[in-house]
Structure 1
Amino acid sequence: MSTPNNTTTAPETPPVVYPDYESLKLDRPAPHVLRVLLSRGKMNSLDFQMHKDLGSIWRRIDEDPTVSAVLLAGEGRAFSAGGDFDMVQRIIDDYDFRCQMWKEGRALVQNMLDCTKPIVSAISGPAAGGGLAAALLADVTVAGRTAKLVDGHTTLGVAADDHAVALWPLLCGMAKAKYYLMTSDAITGEEAERIGLVSFCVDDDEVDARALEIAIRLSQGAPSAIRFTKLALNNWIRAAWPSFEASLAFGILGFTGPEAKEGLAALQEKRPPVFEQRSYI
């Protein structure tokens, strides 16, 4: 008499279909490695659609059975210069759009934290604003020596939001986080590694190769063990979620005031901002 076989074969997960993104290019430089390339003009600045796509793509990646690791990079000489001027102006002028950007900014952080696949970022050239948020929310970060990392929010006249209040104190300590987030001083890749803001700093022409090497290594490791480790470690960031929510609200509030208008005008006119010294709070 044969023994009944109670084992069942799990149904195959259907392949994930990625849309044709306007400003994100996808390719597979190695088996089980998906590369997400920011591609919008010379500086890969974010408009609304690019910001939305960069926030939502992680949910698709998490469901893609063919992906074991992700490589995030910028096309050309910049990782990303952050939000473009038109988008910032619209945030200032349009209440409904301002609320939508609050929602999309929250989704970017949430979805990158929830994505179980390990993410490696290759940071070359300038990285600012929402682009910097995505770069530093990666699990392993590789920066070029002359890369220029800058949060930049206070120069614009709004509170540091996006990701920094939750993440930077964990990476480089409260003293450095407070200084760089309040002054908006730029940090080279070399200095970013020294203070712990990024995982590795390499020569500029080695960034992509080193990041890909790490992504391939992660893609060949024990997938469940690596993903569970990532999820557990990300609870340190989730513990700071109330601080992140407050920073995001303060940042959005700032777009309604005169400081953001002056900050944007100064950037457009390529001059230092002149903020009126009065007490708002």
Structure 2
Amino acid sequence: MTSDTPSPAVRLETEGKVSIVTLNRPHRRNAIDFDTNYLLAATLKQADVDPATRVIVLTGEGVGFCAGGDVKNMVGSTSFGPADRPYVYTPGRDLIKAFLRLEKPIIAMVNGAAAGLGATIALMSDIVVMADEAIIGDVHVKVGLAAGDGGAAIWPLLIGPSRAKEFLLTGRMLRGEEAERIGLISASVPLSGLRQHVMELAEEMAALPPYAVMATKSAINRALEVAVTNVLDTSLAYEHLSMATKDHQRALEARATGVPAEYDGR
């Protein structure tokens, strides 16, 4: 195995014809902050242009896959990113578009909790394999935010609008076995066999004619990109607006203190 580490927050390794991209912030359950957002997109693109790579595996270090956006520093903030960076939702949009535009297949190896943005990046991957014990869900509403980072786009495409609304409007999490049963993900396997299952699948695809695999993926993703684009900018804008609400701050404070909040729609 060879290793190339562009940042301690995102690790890139190669194993034969498979590139393994690992979110490496286990102390934050691999939550994605402003800088990690860019690094993840850049690392995925780096693997995509590597001529030795035919398949990309995305996973998380430690017990979690990705806890979503890093909300630790959100209390008191109404910005998507640091105040000295004049972006509204470009980083989030660029990350989601990267998943749709990369040519090599991406397998999400969901080893633990995938929440919010973490769920989105898993579901935007081409194939999703979860551990039976892992959980996945879009919890934006639970912190007073609109589901703006792609969740409102990808969930209805995978399981239909009605069922997607049930999960997006409640912020409910579901385990790997249930996610497989309703068609949200490709497969759920015991955690002990997760890596072997994913690597066997990756190696199966890597052994096929690479242009045929990439072209087939690209053709399918053209339709997905149209559907996601129709929703993404609007939902990102709604999310940005919801960051300025008092209810969002109340939700974050309730999460930090453990004291339930009352919301008034402001």
2:106, 2:238 → 1: CA distance?
A: 28
Whichever of the two has the greater Rg, that structure is 1
What is the alpha-carbon root mean square deviation over aligned residues?
2.1
Give 1:71's match in structure 2, choosing from 54, 57, 74: 57
Q: How far off its partner does 1:103 sit?
A: 1.0
- Residue 242 of structure 2 corresponds to 254
- Residue 264 of structure 1 corresponds to 252
1:51, 1:226 → 2: CA distance?
A: 27
Q: How far off its partner does 1:63 sit?
A: 1.7
Say if 1:267 and 1:67 are closer, same or farther in 2 by CA, change over 3 A.
same
Q: How far off its partner does 1:271 sit?
A: 4.0
- Further displaced range: 20-29 or 133-142: 20-29
**1:231-269, CA deviations, whole angstroms, 9 ceiling, x for partnerless residues?**
111123212212121111111111011121112112212
Q: Is 2:192 aligned against 1:205? A: yes
2:112, 2:144 → 1: CA distance?
A: 24
Q: Secondary structure of the residue that 2:109 maps to in structure 1?
A: strand
Say if 1:152 and 1:185 are closer, same or farther in 2 by CA, change over 3 A.
same
Paired AA for residue 50 in structure 2:
D
Q: How does 1:1-281 map to 2 (within 5 A)?
A: 20-29=6-15, 31-42=16-27, 43-89=29-75, 91-92=77-78, 96=83, 100=87, 102-240=89-227, 241-276=229-264, 278=265
1:204, 1:245 → 2: CA distance?
A: 36
2:60, 2:88 → 1: CA distance?
A: 22
Contact 2:26 2:64 in 1 (8 A): no
Give the number of equivalent residue pairs: 261
Q: State TM-score, norm by structure 2.
A: 0.91
2:34, 2:176 → 1: CA distance?
A: 27
Q: How far off its partner does 1:95 sit?
A: 7.9
Say if 1:159 and 1:272 are closer, same or farther in 2 by CA, change over 3 A.
same
Q: Determine what percentage of the aligned residue pairs are the same residue.
A: 31
Paired AA for residue 69 in structure 2:
G
Paired AA for residue 166 in structure 2:
Y
Paired AA for residue 43 in structure 2:
I
Q: Secondary structure of the residue that 2:147 maps to in structure 1?
A: coil
1:32, 1:167 → 2: CA distance?
A: 28
Contact 1:79 1:125 in 2 (8 A): yes
1:239, 1:102 → 2: CA distance?
A: 19
2:48, 2:98 → 1: CA distance?
A: 9
Gaps of 5+ in 2: none
